[in-house]
Amino acid sequence: MSKSPVTVLGLGAMGTALATAFVTGGHPTTVWNRTPGKAEPLAALGAAAAGDVAAAVTASELVVVCLLDHDSVQETLAPVAAELAGRTLVNLTNGTPAQAREMARWAAGHGIAYVDGGIMAIPPGIGTAQAFLLYSGSRPAFDTFAPALELLGTPHFVGEDPGLAALHDIALLSGMYGMFAGAFHALALVGTERVPAAEFAPMLRDFVTAMAAGIPHYAHQIETGDYASGVVSNIAMQSAGFTNLLDTAESQGLSAELLAALGPLMARRVAEGHGAEDVTGIVELLKR
């Protein structure tokens, strides 16, 4: 059976990985990039390099866009709205839920089927078992092109509200950056005593991985608002211990700014009478 033609707009690190997955997966693939020259390796694999955005868009029913940000997507697509009419636009550019909903309204106004997406992988991971992608928006459009999109990584359709993929994406990235913040602080801290980072790193990875196993339990507490269920390490104890993290950073001559926000939140929660509960209760202090 012949495979559906795909157009990829944007040949940065990620767009190139996406286009490579489509072309090697047997899809007739047309590519375009603002700065010429980036299409050459893909053309060598069999992709067609379009001379302008309009030619790229009209080559395929499925148009995948992966540019730097929301502004660059708007700037690139606004002039070709008429050419996109009747096609499916899958936007894999990182953005906010509000931006995704704005794109969906724009697409609906021009007769374009719209699917927003979030890529949970780095470019070398595209097409591997570890890669997964989030999608939301038009379910019929997603279903039609799912066989092509599956080449990029495991697809998760998270709902017809077009903002939901971005919400999941930003939430996952928030978790990742929180983990990075702690890990970078830890690596810098051992470095103050010349402990080799490479020797410490596996210990850090294993400990963080073991602690991450608690996430489903924390999720239940946060969803139900019951921060007293199944408490193993109460917040009063954790708050007392956390001051040692801040004091150690200070005495080792290291800024604790990557960690600092947690200490006052824990102390406030304890002061408000929740010392016997779990540390997850600090989310109550985040709500506005």
Q: Which residues bind ligand FVH (CB under 6 A)?
A: 10-15, 33-35, 38, 66-69, 72, 75-76, 93-94, 119, 122-123
Shortest reach from residue 258's CB to ligand FVH, in Å: 21
Pair 31, 64: CB distance under 8 Å: no
Residue 125 to residue 122: CA distance in whole angstroms = 5
Nearer to ligand FVH, 67 or 158 (CB): 67
Shortest reach from residue 25's CB to ligand FVH, in Å: 19
Nearer to ligand FVH, 121 or 249 (CB): 121
Shortest reach from residue 132's CB to ligand FVH, in Å: 11
Which residue do the tokens 């899809």 mark?
27
Nearer to ligand FVH, 6 or 265 (CB): 6
User: What type of residue sits at position 153?
Assistant: G
Nearer to ligand FVH, 14 or 235 (CB): 14
Shortest reach from residue 159's CB to ligand FVH, in Å: 20
Shortest reach from residue 59's CB to ligand FVH, in Å: 18
Which three-class secondary structure state does DSSP give residue 180?
helix
69: tokens are: 């940000």
Question: Which strand (E) or helix (H) includes residue 148?
Answer: helix 139-149
Q: What number of other Cβ atoms are within 10 A of residue 107's Cβ?
A: 26
Which residue do the tokens 């700014």 mark?
257
Which three-class secondary structure state does DSSP give residue 51?
coil
Nearer to ligand FVH, 76 or 138 (CB): 76
Phi, psi (deg, nearest 5) at residue 132:
-140, 150
User: What type of residue sits at position 48?
Assistant: A
Q: Look up residue 5 and give its DSSP letter.
A: P
Nearer to ligand FVH, 170 or 231 (CB): 170
Which residues share a beta bridge with 113?
88
Strands 132-137, 113-120: pairing kind: antiparallel
Nearer to ligand FVH, 39 or 279 (CB): 39
Instruction: Name the closest residue to ligand FVH (Cβ).
Output: 12
Shortest reach from residue 187's CB to ligand FVH, in Å: 21
Shortest reach from residue 170's CB to ligand FVH, in Å: 11
**Which residues lie closer than 8 Å to 157 by C-beta, 6 or more apart?**
135, 136, 139, 142
Nearest CA-CA partner of 136 in 103, 110, 174, 111: 103
Nearest CA-CA partner of 19 in 152, 153, 145: 152
